[in-house]
Amino acid sequence: MKKLLLVCAVLLAAGACSSQSVNHDGKIDRVSPSEVGMDPARLSKVDDIINTSIENKEIPGAVLAVVRHGKLAYIKAYGNKSVYPEVTPMTEDVIFDLASCSKVVGTAMSMARLLEQGGYRLTDRVDMYIPGFQPYVDPETGKKTNIRIVDLLTHSSGLPPYVSPDVVIKDKGVADPDSLMSYICTMKRVYKPTTKFEYSCLNFITLQNVLQKITGKTLAEYAQENIFDVLGMSSTTYMASKKADLIGRVAPTEKQPDGSVLLGEVHDPLARVMNHGNSGNAGVFSSAEDLAVLAAALMNDGEFEGKQVLGKLTVETMTRVPSEVKQLGRSLGWDNYSPYASNNGNLFHPTKTFGHTGYTGTSIIVDPVSKTSVILLTHRVHPVDKGGVVRLRALVANVVASSIVE
């Protein structure tokens, strides 16, 4: 009995359990930090950092998950799931709007799966799949450079970062996916492919359309069948507002002019207004535990609990920066060491660590060298778009990395 009490005390001190935790799905084995070579006292310092961010009103709440050696070493809920129109506490099973983390969880993973299925080559021209998709034209010489699929994945295509739905609607007269893709096809390319990095939602909306052209399925359908269902990620979906079994667990995002809040509807305007939730740049909703499963698979050559979501070489290719754009720091969807990679912190591997962030306040980091992943889910845009998490992400990453002792 004394030994049992001692074990429980250690687990509580480590923060492996939360007073706000609920029944979990048991998708990934939960262990104490010490069982996977992490110092519980060092790791528990993340609690103060996250709680301080909540006190400073940078975020209303958060869920943190830490994966090491394929096990869930830490998961904890902080603060509130909702502060408007009513206050409800955060729980570890809350489902978040991943925003741009959708680019990797949904789009990049799906494109990697389609690649290994023989659907396309990375060097294929985009206009092979989307007729009328214009190349870059040098303004001085008139020389044309075609945009390839790999250029979209590495954010080196020359497409601008974004376009307002209002601009597209004014030009095309309608708010639908075809109008958006038609606009992207002919809009001005701002630089020659591979010569520059410029993060662009339009790259991933184009990838969505490439995938849909090849497969005959929507991105949401393909990702569900080939990624989420394969890994048993039952809390991960597009268009969460339409999922009666999940909507009650979804964290709200921004308050709207009519006083309502977005709930289960993607926050990003292009994804919501133009693509109606099925979008390559945003739209995935997921929980910390589901993302822990995905991270565990990526750190284990694409396999988790006997389920192979991607091949070993596919994972290596997807998460390695192509030599052609080595100076830019982006792998195939993921961010390794571009200027946007501050969420990786300062202590994980400087070039092999890969991850992504989302505008709503989400982030995922995977360090394949230490076999450690940090998943920090927040909804900083709730109830208004004023919060900030850039510094918080790096601080949490550093504390987690510092707790690795063997």
pLDDT at 169: 98
Cis bond before residue 33 (omega within 30° of 0): no
65 domain-assigned:
yes
Same domain as 342, residue 252:
yes
Same domain as 136, residue 43:
no
Residue linked to tokens 């230490």? 370
278 domain-assigned:
no
- Checking if the pLDDT of 297 tops 80, the result is yes
Same domain as 124, residue 61:
no
Same domain as 54, residue 202:
no
Same domain as 258, residue 156:
no
- Residue 208 CA to residue 258 CA, distance in Å, equals 32
Same domain as 65, residue 115:
no
Same domain as 182, residue 256:
no
pLDDT at 25: 58
pLDDT at 26: 59
Average pLDDT, stretch 158-186?
Answer: 98
Same domain as 121, residue 197:
yes
- Residue 20 CA to residue 316 CA, distance in Å, equals 37
DSSP 241: G
Residue 260's domain comprises 14-99+232-269+284-402
The pLDDT confidence band at residue 9, using thresholds 50, 70 and 90, is very low
The pLDDT confidence band at residue 16, using thresholds 50, 70 and 90, is very low
49 domain-assigned:
yes
Share of the chain above pLDDT 70, in %: 94
- Checking if the pLDDT of 1 tops 70, the result is no
Task: Give tens-digit pLDDT for 192-205.
Answer: 999 999 999 999 99
Share of the chain above pLDDT 90, in %: 93
Task: Give tens-digit pLDDT for 205-249.
Answer: 999 999 999 999 999 999 999 999 999 999 999 999 999 999 999
Cis bond before residue 139 (omega within 30° of 0): no
Alpha-carbon torsion angle 88, 234, 237, 242, nearest 10: -70
Same domain as 298, residue 169:
no
Given its phi and psi angles, is residue 292 left (phi above 0), alpha (psi -120 to 50 degrees) or beta? alpha
Structural domains in the chain (count): 2
Specify the CATH number for the domain of residue 297: 3.40.710.10
Average pLDDT, stretch 89-103?
Answer: 98
User: SS3 for 311-329, per residue?
Assistant: CHHHHHHHCCCCHHHHHHC
Taking alpha carbons only, the member of 85, 102, 86, 82 closest to residue 379 is 82
At 288 the three-state DSSP class reads helix
Same domain as 88, residue 129:
no
Phi, psi of 69 (to 5 degrees): 50, 40
- Residue 230 CA to residue 225 CA, distance in Å, equals 7
Same domain as 249, residue 305:
yes
Output the six-digit token pair for 222.
Answer: 């393909």
pLDDT at 17: 41
Average pLDDT, stretch 279-295?
Answer: 98
Task: Give tens-digit pLDDT for 353-373.
Answer: 999 999 999 999 999 999 999
Same domain as 259, residue 382:
yes
70 domain-assigned:
yes
1 domain-assigned:
no
